[in-house]
Amino acid sequence: MSLMIFFPIILIIGALTTFTDLKSKKIYNQHLVIGAIIGIIVTAYSALFKQEQILFHIFNGFAAFIIGFILHRFSLWRGGDAKLFTLYAFLMPIPAYAHSPCPNVVSLFACSFIAGMIILMPVFIKDILIHHKIILNDLLLPVKLNALAQAIVSMALLSWILFPVYYLARITNHVIILMITFLIFNSMYPSVKKEVNKNFLIDIFKRGFFKIILYTVLGFLLRLWLAPNYLSFPAITRFIMMITLSAVISTCIRTTFDHFKDYHERVPFAPLLFIGCLLSYTPFLTRLMHMVTKWNVLYSR
């Protein structure tokens, strides 16, 4: 019943924002305001007759706002994309994949991200193959190696603490963990400096010695308390493999995006968010997670 109430609003907002984003690369605030006002009225009406929980919509909208704000601050999304993401998360009833504290946010972000990767991947791979020498030279610059080393060290330390928390929150899917790790990597990737010491890697450990020790001990204690199985040799090996894979993927994506600035202009996020919202009401994500879970079982053996 709730899907029938909100679906027409989602379709109208999706059609409007997709059209304007593809035509003029803009998401107009008036469309978002209209959608938000109608959504609030419909949510209040639905909650009045006990067909919908208004706190569920508010909680998901707030969580989406925080994520959108962070992505906007790190220049991964424009302001309109972040606001549209928040609006969709607020409007969406409980989707098909609802096994998390914020099912709307998780489903919308995952489906949109996967759809974007599928659409953009051929162009991305083509650019890497054509300009691989330029990208490789760019990667080997001292300033880039310095930024990369700082990002990897920070990502490894944060992930070392977060992995037992994932276990406590029952987040064991490698796809979701890789997505979170990729966002951590981008948030930790510093702005490159003009001059760098040749021994920058040693300098990183010297400057951050106490931080590294603190994070290492804290991560060890969290694993010992929350997930002692994560201290086994196979678990530590999987953690190192996960960090290495995340660092390689994130480095390639980040360097290519930095080198080809027009990627930000190539990707119309409004259609991707609309597609992601629609996919949330299909078995797409559930089946994908089921496939990945099977892969995880085979990988763990």
pLDDT at site 145: 76
Mean pLDDT by 10 residues, the chain (301 residues): 75 92 89 91 78 80 88 78 93 71 82 80 77 76 76 84 80 70 74 58 75 89 85 85 79 68 66 89 72 56 50
Phi/psi of residue 214, nearest 5 degrees = -60, -50
pLDDT at site 88: 93
Q: How far apart are CA 214 and CA 220, in angstroms?
A: 10
Alpha-carbon dihedral angle through residues 67, 72, 75, 79, given to the nearest 10 degrees: 140
The whole-model pTM stands at: 0.65
Q: How far apart are CA 289 and CA 135, in angstroms?
A: 33
SS (H, E, C) the chain: CHHHHHHHHHHHHHHHHHHHHHHHCCCCHHHHHHHHHHHHHHHHHHHHCCCCCHHHHHHHHHHHHHHHHHHHHCCCCCHHHHHHHHHHHHHCCCCCCCCCCCHHHHHHHHHHHHHHHHHHHHHHHHHHHHCHHHHHHHHCCHHHHHHHHHHHHHHHHHHHHHHHHHHHCCCCCHHHHHHHHHHHHHHHCCCCCCCCCCCHHHHHHHHCHHHHHHHHHHHHHHHHHHCHHHHCHHHHHHHHHHHHHHHHHHHHHHHHHHHCCCHHHHCCHHHHHHHHHHHCCCCHHHHHHHHHHHHHHHHHC
Looking at residue 261, its amino acid is K
**Residue for token pair 């959608």:** 35
pLDDT at site 129: 81
pLDDT at site 19: 93
Looking at residue 280, its amino acid is S
pLDDT at site 30: 92
Under 8 Å between Cβ of 18 and 270: yes
